[in-house]
Amino acid sequence: MLKINIDYNLEDTVYRQIYNQIVEQIASSNIHPGDKIPSSREMAGVLNINFHTVNKAYQLLRENGIIELSKNKRYIISKKNKTGDAVDDFKKRETDIINEAMVKGLNSDDIIKTVKNILNLKGGG
């Protein structure tokens, strides 16, 4: 069951919160490949926000191969397996995050420890 909570006190934009929470729920196996998600209008109604905001999140999810349109024009969680493109995309995004962390004073040990802690919380460590 897809659950989205918007926090207007966060620095993240609303569409980015939607994106991140859907990705988090997939990573946590709360939703699975093939599961349907609400239309942007349905989601906007539930969240009481503009449907263009949801569309922006869904578009980003589609561009990143996380959701896709089914044959009956419903959004579903993508059934695609990881590809070379997904690995390359992950490396690029993580390189950007690591560079930012280092600029903010974290060293390699800090970064590795943090990643291991996150993976352990996800059951993947």
Is residue 83 predicted with pLDDT exceeding 70?
A: no
Q: What whole-number distance in Å separates Cα of residue 117 and Cα of residue 103?
A: 21
93 against 98, higher pLDDT: 98
Query: Rg of the Cα trace of the chain?
Result: 16
Residue 42 CA to residue 23 CA, distance in Å, equals: 19
Query: So where are the chain's domains?
Result: 14-77, 84-122
**pLDDT of 119:** 84
Q: Note the pTM of the prediction, 2 decimals.
A: 0.72
Share of the chain above pLDDT 70, in %: 92
Give CA angle at 35 (78, 12), nearest 5°.
70
Q: What is the arithmetic mean of pLDDT over 96-103?
A: 88
Please give the CATH topology (third level) of the domain spanning 14-77: Arc Repressor Mutant, subunit A (1.10.10)
